[in-house]
Structures are given as structure tokens and as C-alpha cells.
Amino acid sequence: MVVAVDVEDDEVRLWSRVPAGAEPRDVPGTTTERFSETVVVQRDRDYAPTCYVAGPDDALADLRAALESDPKVVDLAWDRKILNLRDDPSRVLAVSLERPSEIATFAREVRTLHEPENWRPGTVRLYDVDLSPKFRYCLERGVDPTPEGEEGGPHWPRSLSLSLPTERLAAGDLTALTCEGRAAPRAAERRTGEARERLSPDGDGETSILRALADRLDSVDPDVLVLSSADLVPLIHERADELGVECDLGRLPGHRVLAGENSYESYGRVGHSPARYDVPGRAIVDRSNSFFWREGKLPGLFDLVDRSWKPLQEASWASIGTVFTAMQIREARDRDVVVPWRAWEGESFKRMGTLHDADRGGFTFEPDVGFHEDVVEVDFASLYPRIMIENDLSPETVQCECHDTDDVPVLGYSVCPDIEEPFVPSVLDRIVGDRYGFKADLRATDDPGRAARLESKISALKWILVTCFGYQGYRNSKFGRIEVHESINAHARELLLDAKEYLEAAGWRVVHGIVDSLWVTAAVDDPTPIADVCARISETKGIPLEHESDFEWVCFVPTSDGERGSLTSYFGRREDGSFKYRGIEARQRSTPAFVAEVQRDLVEALDEHREPAPVCDRLARAIARVQSGNVDPDDLVVRTSASKALADYDQRTRTVAALERYEANGVARNPGQDVRYVVVDDGRRDRDRVRLPWEDCADYDADFYETLLVRAAESVVSPLGWDRERIRRYLDDGRNLTLGAFR
Amino acid sequence: MGRTNPTYRDFLDSYEREFGDYRRGLRRRYQSDFDSLFDGAREFADAAGYANHLDRDVLVLLSMLLAHEGTIREQREEIEELREAVAVLQEQVESADGEVA
């Protein structure tokens, strides 16, 4: 029932929502106070977090002696912990510090003072250092930060959502603040009306907005604040102070800055992480900075909290990898394994031939570019996690020292058969199993509220499963090993090729295949039914091959130079009438809504006529619309993100023009943040090339959008052999309009 | 992945670029033949990528040959069909001739 955890240096507070008058779960070392009828707070004033140091006995003894007089250290003890999944327990020095914030200071001192003075670098290793504070508290004290009440019931955490548009936030203007929230979670209420509302309908300026907000916080008493941006926290508090209004977002006054904003680069992409704030007694979810909020909303987040024990606020801003690591850390703690501070697992030496064989990804067939009728899609469900589970692939099993068997196909690595429950597979097994269960529940339920919650959880877990394997190859991964990554890929390639052989023998032809999916059409008049082939492969291989969809038709799109099939771009119509789009403009984040909508319409035209000319007639209509100036500029917004700071660009791109406008508007845009604009004059190189969405964009650059439309149309008709030139020639002969265009 | 060597698909692109001058020196009608040679190599990039410990230049040449082999097979099948069609027509002509006679 704990929802919010405040970790401060002098005390830790656990905030829970309970049934009226009920007591929270007991946490040793805390005193309980009732905050309101259904909210209690447990205070812990004696919390001293612990980290571990390992190394040679004499070095540890020296360090222990040196730390005896360190005022930060409240307790020193010898303990036995497992330092590496493959090893037996070793003797370690357990160091407990007086304040949570001192763990980092202590670790730095060992690295930069104690070690250089006395020993060679790398003599001592630190463990359990970089756990986030709230998560660490829950782990160390055994506090489950998951709500206990019935999901969606009256004792489930309450949330309140506050939104302020970006440009108003930048201007520090709170008058446009809107709110959505319920005193008690009633799904019906949410559907029927209480959508987003102005806090003070009469709009009496900021004083009345803040008073209304204070009233709302009082009446709803939310456990979770869902904010359009965490920067609302300092803004609301400062403004309330200035105007003399009593308005606190937390259950106690004040807020803290946990981390400043920063930009970072990961796998060649620049990201941005905004500043993080903490208010006492409530968990903050920053919608602009929460991957899992986008994917799983609160139900998905709470499910991850349950699995990882990362309290809601920390789970909400965590990346997929961070949440998956937290799940592994929980499992590790159960096994007495401690977490290395700087993960370091060297790659083992291999022969050049093995390196050639191992350093490869999944198998991808060359797509058969063009229009294909009656296509069946089959795929291996959760392929990579299941390969790890089925084959016991884990850092401590692969290439074990005790066996010299040939277990991984092609690579010949051994996999230790003596380990009862391999580490990574046992974490994944629960996720795969539960997600499978959620899917079954979803099919069985007729309660729309429950269905929505299940969908959120399924979606959040999906991301853990699709990335868990990549994490094995990530150099900073706490429990990863490159050889495991290589083994998974080796198994995946063999599986896909084996599946291809089964399908071909059963009378099917492969038109495309990517890593875990195959698209096939009948090669003979009467092939073995696909269900039988799938059942046979699933049974032999131990990994379910599922019959995913039946397509009336599928188009595989060539690359833009027309030279080959693009491996990941296709679209098609399923037997049930729905369409599937992958990789084409309609699916790309940057594509303006109007262009995406036109492209979907063109695909429908293709479906209707099965030839390119009528599609181009439909395109001509869209072009006429955009040229007439009648398209709503909101639908023409291009969305991208800046890869560097404005000053670092040397090309005059549209993004640069937009960044200059953001700057002129006083809206800070850091590398990795969203940049949105409408193109108004693409011939210009200065900032009048674009306008920002909230500026006057009525006079957009129709020719620019026409180009985007033609490009989108090209993706649709290129599988039928028409390229951009051909489309232009057809359009130029405007009298070619057939009746089809006017249907 | 791709740390040890570029992927085969990337290799094929750069390999084709290396022949840029050669292609430029060709008469136009041969330029398109040249392009279809590489189209042929690309058709089998999946198999060539999977067999990645073999000599890549040989893989390119083998893929081009295989594309040729495929074309020959298709043409052989087409010739067979055309022959059958011609035989049927011939029979019809002969029986018509017979009737006339």
C-alpha cells in the first residue's frame, strides 16, 4: 500500500493509502502516524544504507581500520556475498552510512583517496553503490512499494493530472493550467465527462487558479501527481509564494530538486532528460519524461513496481533497461548476489573464426518486393526471452568452465547443465508467463476497465521482453555478457531457418522474414494447413510459432533508391479488414498528421483498385487540398528532435530555424527534446522558414507539403513499379483523372 | 553485431561503388546489364550474410551466377511451355489441314 517514499537524510517517510481506520503493513523500525482517515505515514529515523567492499584480506583490513574513525560510517561488519553470478560467496566488508546521500561520497572517497594511497588501482571493488535511493530503501528494509487494495477499487491510489502547454510553461503563465482527476477512481465518470477541465472556469488570473488547485488537491488528496512537465513543481510553488496563496503540491510543504536536466547520447541518438523533483508524500509522474507512462499508463507502471520494487516515481522516469535491471537486482538479492558499481565483465578471447560466426544479428530474408495476395504471417512469440529460458542461457551458464560441450549451434559454446535455476531465465520466465496469463485474461474479460488495465500491463511488459536480450550485449549492463547475446542470436538464426524448411516442405513459399516472423504464401494448390505446420514446429522446437495474421494482400516496399527491398517497410490488409503499416511514412513519428492520413487513404485506394493510377488520382485530390490552403495547420506539424544545441549546427536546416524560433519565444530546447514546426517558406534559410505550432501558421508552404505527399504516395505505389518520376508524369497530365478519384 | 566486419549488405554496396569507374566506362546498354548483375547479387544477400565466414568476393560472384542460373531455369520452363503450346497449335493446324485435304 506504500505509494510514495520520501528518502531524506534525516528520515525516510513511507506514505500509504489504507481502508478507513486500517493499519499499514508493519515495517520494522518505523513509527506510524495517521495523516488522514485513509492515508498513513510511517517514519524511519534510523535508516543507514549499506554498501559492500570486496578485495584481498589485507586491503579490506586496512580499509576497515581507516573507516573506524570516519564520522559518516555508522557500522562496519564482515559478511559473505556472491560477487559474480559464477562464483561462490566471498568475504566482504559491509559499510553502513549515516545518511543515504553519503553512499556516493563514500564510494568516491574509496576510489580517489583510500585506494590510490595504499593499493594498485582496481584492488578493491565496490558493490550495491548506485541503487536509486527509494528503491534501495525498499530493498534493504523489505518494503513492497505496491498498492495492496483491489486494483481500481476504492483503496487504490488516487491520481491527479495537471497540464500546461509548453509555451505557457516557458512564459511562466499558469492561467492555462488544466486538470483531470478523481476523488475516487470511477471508470464511468472518466468516460462520461470529467475530462480535462480548467481549474478556475471564470479565469480570474493566477491567484484564483492557485486557490482552485489547492482546493482540488485538498478534496482529491491524490497519491500520484501526473504532470505534463515536472517543471510545474517549482513554477507552482514559486508563484504561490509570490502571490501569498497557500498551495502545496506535496502533503508537507516544499519540494526538492533530485537531478538537474541533461542531454545524453545513446546508440547514436541524442536524448534529453528533464529535471526531476520530489514533493513530500506524493509520487510525481512527469509525462514528458516517462517511457512507461506512454506505453502502460498507471496500471502498467504499478505492475512494473510490483516486479521491480522500484517505487512508482522512480519507475516512471526509468528507462526499460533500468526497470529490467531493478527486477534482476531483486532476484540477485534473494540469491545473496551483490551488484557491481562499475559493471565489468570482459569479453573472453575467441578465435577469429568464432568471432566472425558470433558477431551477427538475427536472420533477415530479402523481401520479395511487390504486391502479394493471400499472405500468412507466422511468428515466434517472445522469441529471444524464450530462447534464453528454453536453453538456460545466462551469464553464469554460457561457456562455463566445468563443461566442454557443444551446446550453442555453430558457435560451439558450452551451457552448464548443473545450474538449477539460471539467473536471467528465472527473471524472464515470470515475465513471459505472466504476460501470457494477462493475454488470456484479456480474451476472457468483458469488463472494459479491466481490459484497459490488462492492455496497459501487456504493453509495458512487452518492452521489457523485446529489450532484455539486447541488454546482454550492453557494456554497462549489470548482469550481461556478450557471449550470451551471441548465443541467443545463434539460436534465433537456426530457428528461423528451420522454420523456413518446415514451411517449404509443407508447400509454402517464404516472401519475407525478419528475425522472428515469416510471411508465406501457398506454393502449391493444397499446402498443409498453416495451423498444423505451426503446431509441428512449436512442438519440435519448444518455442511456440504462432499464426499471427492472414493478409488479403501485402506490399513489400523497395528502398528509396529502388535498388532492393527495404527490410522493414511493408503494409497490407488483413482478412478482417484492418490494415497493417510498418516502416512507411504513416508510422513515422516525424510525419505530419495530414500526410499520414492521406497515405492511409492511398493504401485504401490501392486496396480497392489494385493498380497505381487510381491511387495517384486520390493523391491529386490531396495535393489540390493542400494547395488550396485549406488544411488545418495543426495537421501539418512536423515533429522531430534536435540532436545538438543550436550553436553547434552549421547547416541551415528546418530544425535550426525552429530552434531559433523557440529561443526567440523564450522556450528552452535542449538536445534530445521534441522540436515541432510547420513549414511556411521552405525556400528561406532564416527562421521565417518555419513557424512554431502555437504561432500563426495559416500561410503554410503548400509545395513543401506536396513533396511530402508525393513521397508518401511513392511508398504506396512503388511495390507496383511506379517511382516518383512516374507519379509526377501521371500528375502532370491532369486530364488523366479517372472517375475513381471522385468516388 | 557488425563490430568485427561490416554486414554483408553494407559490404555489397561498397563493393559495387568500387566498380563505379568501370561502370562509367561502359556503353549505356551494358550499364543496365551491369546493374542487373548486382541486382542478382542482392537477391541472395540473406544467404550470403548467413554464410559470412566465406570469402565475400566469391559470395558476390556466386550470387550473380545463381541469379543467372535462376533466370536460365525460368527461361527453360518458359521455353518448355511455349514448345507445348506450339505443339498443340501444330496439331490443330495439322488436323485442320487433314480436314481440308
* pLDDT at residue A185, rounded to an integer: 34
State the average pLDDT over residues A536-563. Answer: 90
State the average pLDDT over residues A359-374. Answer: 87
* CB contact (8 A) between residue B5 and residue A359: yes
Of A382 and B101, the structure prediction assigns the larger pLDDT to: A382
- Beta-carbon count within 10 A of A88 CB: 8
Dist CA A179 CA A195 (whole Å): 8
* pLDDT at residue B63, rounded to an integer: 94
Q: What is the pLDDT of residues A83-114, one digit of tens each?
A: 988 888 999 999 999 999 999 999 999 988 88
Dihedral in degrees, nearest 10, Cα atoms A401, A402, A403, A408:
-40
* pLDDT at residue A336, rounded to an integer: 93
Lowest mean per-residue pLDDT among A407-416, A461-470, A591-600, B71-80: A461-470
Place A410 in a pLDDT band, splitting at 50, 70 and 90.
confident
Place A467 in a pLDDT band, splitting at 50, 70 and 90.
confident
Dist CA A162 CA A217 (whole Å): 11
Q: How near does any CA of chain A get to the CA of B46, in Å?
A: 5
User: Does the structure show a pLDDT above 50 at A190?
Assistant: no
* pLDDT at residue A332, rounded to an integer: 92
Half-sphere exposure of A92 (CA within 13 A, CB side): 27
Dist CA A233 CA A235 (whole Å): 5
* CB contact (8 A) between residue A356 and residue B46: no
* CB contact (8 A) between residue A356 and residue B49: no
Residue of B nearest to A368 (CA): B43
Q: What is the pLDDT of residues A201-257, one digit of tens each?
A: 555 688 888 988 998 899 889 999 999 999 999 999 999 999 999 999 999 999 988
Q: How near does any CA of chain A get to the CA of B2, in Å?
A: 6
User: Does the structure show a pLDDT above 90 at A605?
Assistant: yes
Cβ-contact A299, A457 below 8 angstroms: yes
Q: Is A2 left (phi over 0), alpha (psi -120 to 50) or beta?
A: beta
Cβ-contact A144, A110 below 8 angstroms: no
* pLDDT at residue A274, rounded to an integer: 81
- pTM (two decimals): 0.83
User: Does the structure show a pLDDT above 80 at A187?
Assistant: no
Residues of B in contact with A357 (CB under 8 A): 52-53
State the average pLDDT over residues A364-370. Answer: 89
User: Does the structure show a pLDDT above 60 at A182?
Assistant: no
Percent of chain A predicted with pLDDT > 90: 57
Place A480 in a pLDDT band, splitting at 50, 70 and 90.
confident
* pLDDT at residue A344, rounded to an integer: 59
Residues of A in contact with B53 (CB under 8 A): 353, 356-357
State the average pLDDT over residues A17-23. Answer: 83
* pLDDT at residue A345, rounded to an integer: 59
User: Does the structure show a pLDDT above 50 at A300?
Assistant: yes
Place B92 in a pLDDT band, splitting at 50, 70 and 90.
very high
Q: What is the pLDDT of residues B4-62, one digit of tens each?
A: 667 888 889 899 999 999 999 999 889 999 999 998 999 898 898 888 667 888 999 99
* pLDDT at residue A709, rounded to an integer: 96
Q: How near does any CA of chain A get to the CA of B1, in Å?
A: 5
* CB contact (8 A) between residue B2 and residue A353: no
Cβ-contact A40, A34 below 8 angstroms: yes
Q: What is the ipTM of this complex?
A: 0.74
CB pairs under 8 A between A and B: 37
User: Does the structure show a pLDDT above 90 at A677?
Assistant: yes
Dist CA A317 CA A293 (whole Å): 9
Q: In what order do the strands lie in the sheet with A90-97?
A: A73-81, A90-97, A50-54, A125-127
Q: How near does any CA of chain A get to the CA of B17, in Å?
A: 13
User: Does the structure show a pLDDT above 50 at A186?
Assistant: no
State the average pLDDT over residues A676-680. Answer: 94
Cβ-contact A156, A147 below 8 angstroms: yes
* pLDDT at residue A603, rounded to an integer: 96
Place A644 in a pLDDT band, splitting at 50, 70 and 90.
confident
- DSSP string computed for A196-261: SEESSTT---HHHHHHHHHHHHHHH--SEEEES-TTHHHHHHHHHHHHT----SSSSS--EEEE--
Place A183 in a pLDDT band, splitting at 50, 70 and 90.
very low
* pLDDT at residue A743, rounded to an integer: 47
Q: What is the pLDDT of residues A330-349, one digit of tens each?
A: 999 999 999 988 765 567 77
State the average pLDDT over residues A64-68. Answer: 92
Of A343 and A171, the structure prediction assigns the larger pLDDT to: A171
Residues of A in contact with B50 (CB under 8 A): 363, 493, 497
The 8-class DSSP code of residue A402 comes to S
Q: What is the pLDDT of residues A697-732, one digit of tens each?
A: 889 999 999 999 999 999 999 999 999 999 999 988
* pLDDT at residue A625, rounded to an integer: 94
User: Could you tell me how far CA A239 lies from the centroid of its own chain?
Assistant: 33
Find residue A256's DSSP bridge partners. A278
Place A199 in a pLDDT band, splitting at 50, 70 and 90.
low
Percent of chain A predicted with pLDDT > 70: 93
* pLDDT at residue A268, rounded to an integer: 65
Place A193 in a pLDDT band, splitting at 50, 70 and 90.
very low
Closest Cβ–Cβ partner in A357, A359, A489 for B3: A359
* pLDDT at residue B1, rounded to an integer: 52
* CB contact (8 A) between residue A357 and residue B42: no
